[in-house]
């Protein structure tokens, strides 16, 4: 069974669990920026108006343009593939009449961008198709279905994430061995990107700021590209980096301290900052388990940073990763307006999260460590060796 087949089968089980008769994904011209769920349940682009239907009774139906019928069959996940030439309306209405669902989930969400793939234009087209049918009053958001499907990673998905993590760790080790004071942030970024290219891999996010490189105390923080500022002795180097391998992402942050002249170990304030961040990560991971809300984990981690006397970091403690580096669903975050309901959603077994608190050590730079972890049936486990000691060079 390939990964698409695995996820379609999983989706049918989720429909049964959520008591939803039918899930309809309605798209067109996906190469222009389509629904984020299509790579997971179909795995290729769709051109004409297309409908992917999955039912709680186990049926899987793809209605696609005639020129894509054979491609849809080769996906191997859809029992029935129906082609059309002039328009999808009559076939879609007839198919829905035969299925006669009580509820039809469609892809929109107020809280989760990965579950909000139905464009406003396609929504209007769908309403016009259904206007003279009883189905128009059966529509509801597929948010719960999509967040569960994206979040609950199968064994095959976890293996791909772990492979991406291993490749990321290899690149980091090369950084530890070869990056030296005198190199600029731009040079460090190019060094890492060159290794990704040589390995035939992809960056996990926009090349303009993957990796994020912060050399010393004057570096701009956040989702911003590297500068010409040069790494100096007696400074921290913070790196935020991930790759995409076989369609799945890693996202890891690492810290290095470059000893100043006459130093044999990092200054106390640097070591204290690092220990505070890694201690907060451990406390968060220890508390993660199914049924706990993301905001509860965020509060544990955030309070450790605050109680140590550092200012509050103004970002979430962690997010899910998978097909995308920000994979939607439940968030390890505070109840801030910008996060909507996602911090209130509960952790589930199979979800993969980053956990990434941060703080500033004045005069030395940013400290941010980020680990990738898997929620299990009974708790949480690291998908790689966490950074528990500051790399010293």
pLDDT tens digit sequence for 163-189: 999 999 999 999 999 999 999 999 999
Task: Tell me whether the CATH fold assigned to 3-150 matches the one assigned to 152-392.
Answer: no
Q: Which CATH number fits domain 152-392: 3.40.640.10, 3.90.1150.10, 3.90.230.10, 2.60.40.2130?
A: 3.90.230.10
| Beta strand residue intervals within 180-317, DSSP E | 202-203, 212-215, 235-241, 243-245, 248-249, 252-258
Tokens of 73: 């069959």
Homologous superfamily of the 3-150 domain (CATH): Creatinase/prolidase N-terminal domain (3.40.350.10)
Treating both helix axes as pointing N-terminal to C-terminal, what angle do 268-287 and 294-307 enclose, rounded to 10 degrees? 160
Contacts for 191 with CB less than 8 Å, ≥ 6 apart: 175, 178, 179, 183
How many Cα atoms occupy the beta-carbon half-sphere of 170 within 13 Å?
13
Burial of 69 (0-12, 13-18, 19+ CB in 10 A): middle
Annotated domain spans of the chain:
3-150, 152-392
- On whether the CB atoms of residues 379 and 274 are closer than 8 A, the answer is no
Residue-wise pLDDT for 264-297, tens only, equals: 999 999 999 999 999 999 999 999 999 999 999 9
pTM of the model: 0.95
Kindly tell me if the per-residue pLDDT of 1 is higher than 90.
no
Q: Residue 237 forms beta bridges with which residues?
A: 215, 256
The Cα–Cα gap between 344 and 300 comes to 15
């Amino acid at each position: 069974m390939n990964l698409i087949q695995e996820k379609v089968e999983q989706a049918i089980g989720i429909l049964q669990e959520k008591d939803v008769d039918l899930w309809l994904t309605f798209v067109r011209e996906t190469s222009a920026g389509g629904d984020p769920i299509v790579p997971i349940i179909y795995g290729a682009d769709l051109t004409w108006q297309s409908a992917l239907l999955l039912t709680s009774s186990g049926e899987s139906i793809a209605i696609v343009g005639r020129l894509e019928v054979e491609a849809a069959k080769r996906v191997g996940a859809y029992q029935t593939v129906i082609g059309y030439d002039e328009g999808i309306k009559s076939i879609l209405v007839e198919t829905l009449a035969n299925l006669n669902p009580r509820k039809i989930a469609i892809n929109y969400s107020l809280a989760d961008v990965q579950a909000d793939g139905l464009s406003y234009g396609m929504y209007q087209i769908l309403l016009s198709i259904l206007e003279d049918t009883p189905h128009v009053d059966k529509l509801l958001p597929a948010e719960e279905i999509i967040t569960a499907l994206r979040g609950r990673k199968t064994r095959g998905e976890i293996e791909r994430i772990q492979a991406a993590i291993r490749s990321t760790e290899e690149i980091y080790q090369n950084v530890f061995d070869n990056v030296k004071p005198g190199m600029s942030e731009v040079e460090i970024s190019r060094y890492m990107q060159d290794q990704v290219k040589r390995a035939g891999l992809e960056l996990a996010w926009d090349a303009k700021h993957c990796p994020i490189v912060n050399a010393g105390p004057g570096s701009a923080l956040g989702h911003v590209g590297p500068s010409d500022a040069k790494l100096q002795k007696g400074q921290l180097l913070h790196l935020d980096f991930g790759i995409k391998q076989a369609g799945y992402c890693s996202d890891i942050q690492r810290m290095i301290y470059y000893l100043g002249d006459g130093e044999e170990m990092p200054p106390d304030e640097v070591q204290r900052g690092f220990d505070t961040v890694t201690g907060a990560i451990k406390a968060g991971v220890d508390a993660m388990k199914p049924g706990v809300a993301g905001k509860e984990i965020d509060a544990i981690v955030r309070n450790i940073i605050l109680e140590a006397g550092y200012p509050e970091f103004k970002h979430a403690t962690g997010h899910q990763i998978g097909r995308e580096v920000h994979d939607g669903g439940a968030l390890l975050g505070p109840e801030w307006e910008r996060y909507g309901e996602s911090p209130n959603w509960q952790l589930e077994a199979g979800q993969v999260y980053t956990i990434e608190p941060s703080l500033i050590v004045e005069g030395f730079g940013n400290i941010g460590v980020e680990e990738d972890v898997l929620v299990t049936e009974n708790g949480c486990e690291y998908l790689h060796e966490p950074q528990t000691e500051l790399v010293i060079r």
